[in-house]
Structure 1
Amino acid sequence: MEATAADAASSPHAAVARWKSDFSRVFQHYLDRSTPHPLGRWLGTLAVAAVYVLRVYFVQGFYIVSYGLGIYLLNLLIGFLSPMVDPEVEALDGPSLPMRGSDEFKPFIRRLPEFKFWYAITKAFLVAFVMTFFSIFDVPVFWPILVFYWIVLLS
């Protein structure tokens, strides 16, 4: 039997690929629409974070997930607050003036832009929230040690 183009298009694999493509397009559309609304985006992320914190509080577990989330958020914050070009490395090369109009000096460009920072934080909280529904991630630890170690890393 020969498979026709219509049979190939109606296969389960093609249906899943089509659904994934449609979902990706719709998701990107809403991401693009949310770009000019930073306050709304951050309030939504704050709501997601509050739901996660309440879940961990009521379950009384998943401290290692929260610790990993805290380390990841700290890493994102460092990237957000760091400049794209390290001034110390640039100082070793010596100051240079722009040679063309396109080489205009910009005093501070973040290594991690605000939108990507927000998106990564929101995804991190959502992944951590989903992890709280699986007991394999509820590793028993003495949580004050994790809090102390995180404070040491922060400082």
Structure 2
Amino acid sequence: MDAPEPDTPFAAVSAQTTRYGRIYQSYLDRSTPFRTYRWASTGTLLFLFFLRIVFAQGWYIVAYSLGIYLLNLFLAFISPKFDPSLEQDEGMEDGTAGGLPTKEEEEFRPFVRRLPEFKFWYSATRAITIGFFCSWFEIFNLPVFWPVLVMYWLILVFLTMRRQIQHMIKYRYVPFTVGKKRFSGPNH
């Protein structure tokens, strides 16, 4: 059922924007099961962005900002939705054990990510696209000594990942499904 004809130009623009938004969302919904193709296209886009930065010899602040944002997304992707340290503190107050089960009689709770895979992919792809777009405008080409940015970013990655890995070890969770048993149904 179509909406009635708009009375103002703003309503016409709003109706058209809503229509394009629905089309865009339907394409996103259809891409959901194709995880490998989605990530391959994002990786290709990131590679093109890196080529742009290397050959243009500039826009290092844009690349650095993108790197920090992608690191933040990745950390949210490998972090549990509910922080085990907070649950453990709450569990100690009321006498129950929080976090993952440590004995056979405790209930198993699966790993739930703070940032789901699809939102991680969508946010990363959108950020890379925006970074690539910004790399074509001279206003974003700020003069910086890029080796300092690279070293600072590598130190930041090392320190944050070390802290995250220590958190994983302390609270015994693994955010990846590699090597875990999968049951597909009663016949298997």
- TM-score, length-normalised on structure 2? 0.71
Aligned counterpart in structure 1 of residue 119 of structure 2, from 112, 116, 124: 116
Which residue of structure 2 aligns with residue 91 of structure 1?
Answer: 88
Aligned counterpart in structure 2 of residue 59 of structure 1, from 51, 56, 60: 56
User: 1:106 deviation in Å?
Assistant: 2.2
User: 1:14 deviation in Å?
Assistant: 2.5
1:16 lines up with 2:13 in the alignment: yes
Which residue of structure 2 aligns with residue 99 of structure 1?
Answer: none
Aligned counterpart in structure 2 of residue 143 of structure 1, from 141, 146, 153: 146
User: 1:87 deviation in Å?
Assistant: 1.2
Instruction: Report the AA paired with residue 114 of structure 1.
Output: E
Which residue of structure 2 aligns with residue 100 of structure 1?
Answer: none
Percentage of matched positions with identical amino acids: 49
User: 1:10 deviation in Å?
Assistant: 5.8
Aligned counterpart in structure 2 of residue 127 of structure 1, from 126, 130, 136: 130
| 1:89-112 CA distance string (max 9 Å, x none) | 11122226xxxxxxx752310000
Secondary structure class of the residue paired with 2:55: helix
| 1:28-82 CA distance string (max 9 Å, x none) | 0000000111011111111211221111122110000000000000100100010
- TM-score, length-normalised on structure 1? 0.85
Q: Whole-Å Cα distance in 2 between the matches of residues 79 and 50 of structure 1?
A: 23
Which residue of structure 2 aligns with residue 50 of structure 1?
Answer: 47
**Greater relative contact order (Cα < 8 A, sep 6+):** 1
Which residue of structure 2 aligns with residue 74 of structure 1?
Answer: 71
Instruction: Report the AA paired with residue 44 of structure 2.
Output: A
Which residue of structure 1 aligns with residue 23 of structure 2?
Answer: 26
**Aligned pairs, number:** 142
Instruction: Report the AA paired with residue 150 of structure 1.
Output: W
Instruction: Report the AA paired with residue 122 of structure 1.
Output: T
CA RMSD of aligned residues (A): 1.6
> Is the helix fraction higher in 1 or 2?
1
Q: Whole-Å Cα distance in 2 between the matches of residues 154 and 47 of structure 1?
A: 22
Structure 1's unaligned 5+ residue stretches are 97-103
Instruction: Report the AA paired with residue 118 of structure 2.
Output: F
Q: Whole-Å Cα distance in 1 between the matches of residues 143 and 63 of structure 2?
A: 12
Structure 2's unaligned 5+ residue stretches are 92-96, 99-106, 159-188
